[in-house]
Structure 1
Amino acid sequence: MKKSTFWAGIATAATVATGLTVWAVHSPSAGPSESKSVSVARDTKSVPNSVPKSVTKSVDVLLQSALKRQTHQDFVGAAEDYRRILEADPKNKQAWYGIGVIDQAYGRTAEARKDYDKALETDPRFTSALFSEAFMLRSSDPDRAIELLGRAAAIQPKAATVQLQLGQLLADRNRDGEAEQAFRRAVAADGRLLSRVPEEFRDAVSR
């Protein structure tokens, strides 16, 4: 089985418009102190139209509070804010995602997986959740990780990092033809990634 190059972590290329700050987890053992925030665009559809305006305003305030608490490493407080959001808006994908990132950072993998799945129930095209869950499952459930990354790549075909990570997972599973295609798309989107393509694929990808 081929050795993949290192995972870049939760990359900005994998983000979609969420209205949140995505907390990047750079290794499976990374705790909250190792996280970094990456700003992404606001999703104007994050709160369902059926939610009253007064509740929408409250949710927005709580989201900002949660992000501020995360910035200051107050993950317990941030999780409390997210749960208050879910009391008012049980399908809020941003809150489910935020809790998922915190659970993942603390090593609560089963809980994080449920959180990400809840976010994806609301928005199956939520690329941040797709990529975060795939990163988390890349060792324990690589086939599921490939499925999730494939969905993210279909949504954002020019997201070079997503294509690179997908190619690495496919190569690890000896799915060489599919891996080569993913690496080719990654390099086409960002030529600087060629050096991170496994050597056995590099010549074919660079043609």
Structure 2
Amino acid sequence: MAGTAKSADALLRSALQRQVSRDPLGAVQDYRRVLEMDPRNKNAWYGLGLIDQQNGRMADARANFEKALEIDPHFMSALYSEAHMLRASDPDRAIELFRRAAATNPKAAAIHLQLGQLLAASSRKSEAGDAFRRAVAVDHKLLSQVPEEFRDAVSR
């Protein structure tokens, strides 16, 4: 068992290196080998999702992010990546994922900011104001990125 875990870790490192080196096919092979050893490896599912997203296979990317989230519902990288990917096509689902990410890490100011932007675009002004307030409370430098109509309320 310990040998399998070490092999899976080595393959994950190899996959990440291949991804960074712009060898997505090699990375996919490594991620798939990891999943043969450990079908519940959230990092492998997430890595496959990123590669699918980079190659425009959004349905496959979403399915892989969802598999990672089934394994770890608080996996911040998968929550953020899927939410960001769905901003335009499924804003309600993106809002739900950003809310989960914000609940997982309340100090993630950028998550609150993105949530606020999405809520504002969805005409959910009160909720947007709350998200912007949380973002600025964590990092006051983000005030300049808050839409003008919310700045006075947020800066109080």
TM-score by length of 1: 0.74
| 2:126 equivalent to 1:177 | yes
Counterpart of 1:104, as a letter, is: Q
In structure 1, distance between residues paired with 2:97 and 2:44: 20
The residue number in structure 1 matching 2:11 is: 62
Q: 2:37 aligns with which of 78, 88, 98?
A: 88
Correspondence 1:192 to 2:141:
yes
Structure 2 CA distance, aligned partners of 1:117 and 1:70?
20
Q: Which has the higher contact order (CA 8 A, sep 6+)?
A: 1
Note if 1:167 corresponds to 2:116: yes
Gapped regions of structure 1 (runs ≥ 5): 1-51
1:1-20 matches, cutoff 5 A: none
Q: Percent identity?
A: 65
Q: 2:25: which partner in 1? A: 76
Deviation at 1:95, TM superposition (A): 0.0
CA RMSD of aligned residues (A): 0.6
Secondary structure class of the residue paired with 1:124: coil
Match of 2:65 in 1: 116
Alignment coverage as a number of residue pairs:
156
Shift in Å, 1:154 = 0.6
Q: Of Structure 1 and Structure 2, which has the larger fraction of its residues in helix?
A: 2
**Separation in 2 of the partners of 1:157 and 1:112?**
26
Aligned residue type for 1:135? H
CA distance in 2, matches of 1:131, 1:116: 10
**1:142-168: per-residue Cα shift (whole Å, max 9, x none)?**
000000000000111110000000000
CA distance in 2, matches of 1:57, 1:158: 33
Give the ranges of 4+ consecutive aligned residues of structure 1 lying more than 3 Å apart after TM superposition. none
CA offset digits 1:80-136 (Å, max 9, x no partner): 100110011011000000000010011100000000000001000101100100000
**CA positional deviation for 1:70:** 1.4
Write the distance in 2 (CA, Å) between the matches of 1:143 and 1:161.
18
Corresponding residue number in structure 2 for 1:132: 81
Consecutive unaligned residues of structure 2, counting only runs of 5 or more, are: none
Equivalent residue for 1:16? none
1:10-68 deviation per Cα after TM superposition (whole angstroms, max 9, x unaligned): xxxxxxxxxxxxxxxxxxxxxxxxxxxxxxxxxxxxxxxxxx11110110110111111
Q: Counterpart of 1:69 in 2: which secondary structure?
A: helix
Amino acid at match of 2:48: I
Instruction: Name 2:55's counterpart in structure 1.
Output: 106
Q: Secondary structure at the match of 2:99?
A: helix
In the alignment, the residues of structure 1 paired with residue 17 and residue 43 of structure 2 have an alpha-carbon distance, to the nearest angstrom, of 15
